Amino acid sequence: MKEFFDCLKCKECGRTYPKEAQHVCEFDFGPLEATYNYHKLKKYVTRQLLESGPHSMWRYEAFLPLEESPTVGLHTGMTPLIRAHRLGKVLGVKELYIKNDAINYPSLSFKDRVVSVALSRARELNFSIVSCASTGNLANSLAANAASSGFKSYVLIPADLELAKVIGSLVYKTKVIGIRGSYDKVNRLCSEIAGKYRWAFVNVNFRPYYAEGSKTMGFEILEQMGWEIPDHTVICMASGSLLTKIDKAYREAIICGLVEDKPYAIHGAQALGCNPITAAFKKGTDLIRPVPNPSTIAKSLAIGTPADGFYAIQTIRRTGGFSEDVNDLEIIEGIKILAETEGIFAETAGGVTVGCAKKLIEKGHIPPSGKIVLCITGNGLKTADVLKDHLQPIQIIDPTIQDFDKIVAL
Ligand SMILES: *Cc1c(COP(=O)(O)O)cnc(C)c1O
């Protein structure tokens, strides 16, 4: 494979670091990020080259921080981007698209992208045990990919997650450790463990590698839009990493001449019950006030101290986007209109994206013209319980034509 991955670099001071299992700058504690030789990369990548690559996220491998060809998650990505005529009509916009990672492979969320990169890198660096702090989907993806690639795995989650997400990890025979407390507590414990055991924590010591995987969702959007940056992209946020990386993909595509440089807006979406990024954005500050006790049905987004929140706000501001939030009822409404109009069953995080998009359009932050992409990041079957009291009950009848006639006539 052709390699363009240069080094890790502190996002604050720019100091560079070797390509190891390291994630913070020793001088100012800034996060480390993968950087590339854009001079060479620009000469190498073309639309034709990328289009002729594998039907997976790995067609963008030149933009990913690996030294060898990938070994994990070879079937991940290239999820559908669909034109959402019917939802667009309901929301009052002309050209709406859904990027649907609810059907990503193998574990039905965008987290398959980040895990594929992190575990491929973990193998390159000779780690044999992989782990993560998770709000559910990351645990599912790590467990599934570890099972199929022969890593031993441990996942740490808040003990009160949805049953489907707990089972969706246990089934792969990973060790599931439920922590009494919020995600922030889980994450803090993982940092401590990572200091003591030589494990690859995909979102702690492997975070620079993990995070780059999210860019592939951005590259796919560009290619599937016919190599054009959408005017508006709406992205739900937990740590804020996905949002910043979709923007990084857009900027790298501009640098490499894959798309025309033009103004575009990146919009953030959070649940009202855990909205540290949106609250800071709306207050006009960069200073994120942690949410110590998140309370929302969107558990996958319930991170009270978002690691990339500061950078997410910078991205939203720089691009002229907006950050919105929605309450639990609005989340359920969002899930329902997406399902009823487009036949897509998203998890609560998708309800946040759709609900916030609706508000952004109503308030004029997204105009009715222009190309709009909503990023759907997880699958509704994993959080189906939240809909229990919000749908029509099923009708139960005796197996007779008379009973059937009666209910059809109604
Ligand atoms: C993890 C997750 C996100 C957001 O992830 P960040 O990169 O931490 O902002 C969004 N949607 C779903 C379904 C997730 O599981």
**How does pLDDT run along the chain (410 residues), one tens digit per residue?**
678 999 999 999 999 999 999 999 999 999 999 999 999 999 999 999 999 999 999 999 999 999 999 999 999 999 999 999 999 999 999 999 999 999 999 999 999 999 999 999 999 999 999 999 999 999 999 999 999 999 999 999 999 999 999 999 999 999 999 999 999 999 999 999 999 999 999 999 999 999 999 999 999 999 999 999 999 999 999 999 999 999 999 999 999 999 999 999 999 999 999 999 999 999 999 999 999 999 999 999 999 999 999 999 999 999 999 999 999 999 999 999 999 999 999 999 999 999 999 999 999 999 999 999 999 999 999 999 999 999 999 999 999 999 999 989 76
* pLDDT value of residue 409: 78
The one-letter code for the residue type at 301 is L
The ligand 1 atom at the shortest distance from the C-alpha of residue 109 is 13
* pLDDT value of residue 210: 98
Q: What is the enclosing helix (H) or strand (E) of 40?
A: helix 38-44
Q: Is the CB of 65 under 6 A from ligand 1?
A: no
Q: Is the CB of 134 under 6 A from ligand 1?
A: no
- pTM summary value: 0.97
The DSSP bridge partners found for residue 34 are: 8
* pLDDT value of residue 2: 72
Q: Is the CB of residue 323 less than 8 Å from the CB of residue 282?
A: yes
- Which residue's CA is the closest to the ligand 1 atom numbered 11? 377
Pair of tokens at residue 79: 């999820």
Contacts of 324 (CB under 8 A, 6+ apart): 267, 268, 269, 270, 278, 356, 359, 360, 365
Contacts of 117 (CB under 8 A, 6+ apart): 64, 65, 66, 70, 73, 209, 210, 212, 213
Contacts of 250 (CB under 8 A, 6+ apart): 218, 222, 229, 259, 264
The ligand 1 atom at the shortest distance from the C-alpha of residue 101 is 13
Calpha distance 323→268 (Å, rounded): 4
Calpha distance 335→24 (Å, rounded): 37
Calpha distance 267→148 (Å, rounded): 35
What order of strands is seen across the sheet that includes strand 32-36?
Answer: 16-17, 5-10, 32-36
The ligand 1 atom at the shortest distance from the C-alpha of residue 211 is 7
Whether the ω angle into residue 106 lies within 30 degrees of 0, i.e. cis, is: yes
For residue 136, the CA-to-ligand 1 centroid distance in Å is 10
Contacts of 389 (CB under 8 A, 6+ apart): none
Q: Is the CB of 240 under 6 A from ligand 1?
A: yes
* Residue length of the chain: 410
Q: What is the enclosing helix (H) or strand (E) of 158?
A: strand 152-158
* pLDDT value of residue 322: 98
Q: Is 317 exposed, middle or buried (0-12, 13-18, 19+ CB in 10 A)?
A: middle
